Amino acid sequence: MGDHVASTARGTPEPAGREKVVFLFDLDGGVGEAAAKRSLELLKECVALIVRTKARMRPDHQYALLVLLESAVLYSDFTTDASSFLQQVMQLTSSEPFPTLDMSSCYQALLDLRHAPDWQDTDTLRAILLYTRHSTIPSFGGGDSAWIQLSSDISFYLDTLYVR
């Protein structure tokens, strides 16, 4: 195993350093105003639960936010201040419907964050995709090279929550 990973009793890698958690938050409002608002509020509560739990376990974890429109846009850079991060999350509003989502922009943004100057060898990058679009199949318009790089990195994890 690499220097930055400890082994658990099951033999699976366990992060030894801080987690840098990036939420990829879908702002698509294409399911109707009432349903979009319910989905948005549910996702906000999910983010709050995750951040509060992680912050209690390890105060040095960092949180960043990418919003998903037709592509990923960095909304909030990494911070250890869970309260201010959650304030930004709670201010999010759904947008108009988007006919496409270029996932390559998501992976490129994650790769850019992974190569930030303050990255430490013991850091783990955890991306949490919060997706609500029921009629949009994501594409790889910009190619899959960023995904290939990330998926081969043992310090990268991708979790997905689909809400409809």
Task: State mean pLDDT over 105-119.
Answer: 93
pLDDT (0 to 100) of residue 30: 65
pLDDT (0 to 100) of residue 106: 95
| Backbone angles phi and psi of 51, in degrees to 5 | -65, -45
pLDDT (0 to 100) of residue 33: 65
Q: What domains are defined for the chain?
A: 23-162 (3.40.50.410)
pLDDT (0 to 100) of residue 2: 41
**95 pLDDT above the threshold of 70:** yes
**1 pLDDT above the threshold of 50:** no
Work out the pLDDT band at 35, boundaries 50, 70, 90.
Answer: low
**Which residue type, as a one-letter code, is found at position 123?**
D
Degrees (nearest 5) of the Cα angle 42, 97, 86?
Answer: 35
Helix, strand, coil in percent for the chain, rounding step 5? 30, 30, 40
pLDDT (0 to 100) of residue 162: 86
pLDDT tens sequence across 38-74 = 888 989 999 999 999 999 999 999 999 999 999 999 9
Give the closest residue to 23 by CA, choosing from 155, 130, 109.
Answer: 130
72 CA to centre of own chain: 10
Give the closest residue to 21 by CA, choosing from 153, 161, 156.
Answer: 156
Averaged confidence pLDDT in the chain:
86
**pTM, full prediction:** 0.85
- Cβ–Cβ < 8 Å for 25, 47: yes
